Amino acid sequence: MKALVYEGPKSVSVKDVPDATIEKPTDVLVRITTTNICGSDLHMYEGRTGLESGKILGHENMGEVVEVGDGVDRVRVGDQVSLPFNIGCGFCENCERGNTGFCLTVNPGTAGGAYGFYGMGPYAGGQAELLRVPYADFNCLVLPEDAQDKQNDYTMLSDIFPTGWHATELAGMRPGESVVVYGGGPVGIMAAYSAVIRGASQVFVVDRHPDRLKLAERAGATPIDDSQGDPAQQVLDLTDGRGADRGCECVGYQAHDAQGNENPSMTLNSLFQAVRPTGKIGVVGLFLPGDPGAPSEDAKIGRYPLDYGTTWFKGQGIGNGQANVKNYNRQLAQLIHQGKAAPSFIVSHELSLDQAPEAYESFDERLQGWTKVLLKPAA
Ligand SMILES: NC(=O)c1ccc[n+]([C@@H]2O[C@H](COP(=O)([O-])OP(=O)(O)OC[C@H]3O[C@@H](n4cnc5c(N)ncnc54)[C@H](O)[C@@H]3O)[C@@H](O)[C@H]2O)c1
Ligand SMILES: [Zn+2]
Ligand SMILES: [Zn+2]
């Protein structure tokens, strides 16, 4: 099969590799119809993780089931499925509690497994023609009959729509509240969109790329351009000096200013200012215990200077981590099915697998107009 393989910093290529196969009776094999490039892939692409070369990337996968293992009961050949980027077993303590992003079975020695991801187990990614799906009865979301027609909406269910929703959930958002989102990438736009759907009274998105700020407006949010002045001050000015009720961090450890100077603490420290006392902040932007390419010794081991006194004094709460996609994907699929949500408005490119290397380069540069890339290996 053809697959997109990581070779080293800023180097990926499409190669012929052995076909993915059923390895355990509980697996299914999926022929990938749509697989997206994510900001999480870019941390790996830029060599800012310890990812080994040879890994097939791709954790935002959907497709058609083409083979089922003997131990699979529910999922059938021909089903159109969305696959949460986290792989869960369904029976460990964390999965039982709904914390499927922290499964204790699939990646022994740590909590959490995923396809095509650094530090998340041996699983190949789905930027390929075929994908092996472990514990398939648990992990496959079988899509309704409009799966093909609304493919570009449903493809957001494997990661960024649930992840954006999770950011608002970690922030404890309630209807009528105001929410500020840092990061106008796909995840930040989905957080803003989720906040709007959940009945926020005001939503702000902080970024500096005009195309991304435009999408924030399309999601129903007020764009805040941080190249035009301190973003926290802009939020305070727009909330009568109170600050937003809730904050979402959707940037991660490669946060930088509008001139490109990197500072992994800057979004959190700014959120501590922009969110009101006793407000909560949901952090879904990626932070890792190790960052070989970090600019400082502390950052190399995931140690970041935070204004802890400020957030403590304001009594703010912080929620962290990978989104437990399975907590949300079934319900969000219904919003799509019933026409209440259409997250495909962020899609800028639909490309073949062969075009993936150029797509990585352009999306990584955050080139104007490259807001979300879908790859279509089966096309
Ligand atoms: N927790 C999870 O489960 C989960 C899931 C998916 C993605 N992620 C993470 O979410 C983050 C965002 O993903 P994405 O696909 O939207 O990535 P992206 O890189 O496309 O978007 C990030 C955006 O942040 C903006 N930005 C950079 N520095 C900023 C700053 N100081 N203030 C405001 N905006 C700033 C950039 O201009 C960019 O538009 C990544 O770290 C990704 O790894 C986490
Ligand atoms: Zn992703
Ligand atoms: Zn588990």
Question: pLDDT tens per residue, the chain (379 residues)?
Answer: 999 999 999 999 999 999 999 999 999 999 999 999 999 999 999 999 999 999 999 999 999 999 999 999 999 999 999 999 999 999 999 999 999 999 999 999 999 999 999 999 999 999 999 999 999 999 999 999 999 999 999 999 999 999 999 999 999 999 999 999 999 999 999 999 999 999 999 999 999 999 999 999 999 999 999 999 999 999 999 999 999 999 999 999 999 999 999 999 999 999 999 999 999 999 999 999 989 889 899 999 999 999 999 999 999 999 999 999 999 999 999 999 999 999 999 999 999 999 999 999 999 999 999 999 999 999 8
- The CATH number that domain 163-320 falls under is 3.40.50.720
CB of 270 within 6 A of ligand 1: the answer is no
Among 3.90.180.10, 3.60.20.10, 3.30.1370.60, 3.90.170.10, name the CATH number for the domain at 2-159+324-375.
3.90.180.10
Backbone angles phi, psi at 5, to 5 degrees: -115, 135
pLDDT of residue 49: 94
Question: Which residue has the CA at smallest separation from atom 11 of ligand 1?
Answer: 285
Any ligand 1 atom below 6 A from CB of 269: no
φ/ψ of residue 108, rounded to 5: -50, 140
Q: Is 286 exposed, middle or buried (0-12, 13-18, 19+ CB in 10 A)?
A: buried
Residue whose CA is at the smallest distance from ligand 1 atom 21: 185
Beta bridge partners of 18: none
* Four-point Cα dihedral 8, 189, 359, 4, nearest 10: 50
Three-class SS state of 180 = strand
Residue-level pLDDT at 10: 97
State in Å: Cα 96 to ligand 3 middle. 7
How far is ligand 1, taken at its centre, from the CA of residue 160, in Å?
A: 11
Q: Any idea where the domains of the chain sit in the sequence?
A: 2-159+324-375, 163-320
Is residue 164 lining ligand 1, measured as CB closer than 6 Å? Answer: no
Q: How far, in whole angstroms, is CA 63 from its chain's centroid?
A: 19
Closest CA to 11 of 40, 51, 39: 51
DSSP state of 304: -
Instruction: Indicate whether residue 83 lines ligand 1 (CB < 6 A).
Output: no
The residue behind tokens 């099915």 is 337
Q: Is the CB of 266 under 6 A from ligand 1?
A: yes
pLDDT of residue 175: 98
By the CB criterion, residues less than 5 angstroms from ion ligand 3 are: 88-89, 92, 95, 103, 105
**For residue 194, how far is its CA from the centre of ligand 2 (angstroms)?**
16
Q: What whole-number distance in Å separates Cα of residue 139 and Cα of residue 84? A: 7
pLDDT score of 293: 87
Q: Which atom of ligand 1 is nearest to the CA of 255?
A: 28
Q: What is the pLDDT of residue 379?
A: 84
pLDDT at 349: 98
For a pocket test of ligand 1, which of 41, 187, 225, 328 has the largest count of ligand atoms closer than 8 A to its C-beta? 187
2-159+324-375 shares its CATH topology with 163-320: no
Q: Give 88 Cα–ligand 3 centroid separation in angstroms.
A: 5
| Minimum-distance ligand 1 atom for the alpha carbon of 186 | 16
Rounded Cα distance, 101 and 233, in Å: 35
Q: Output the pTM of the full model.
A: 0.98
Q: Is the CB of 112 under 6 A from ligand 1?
A: no
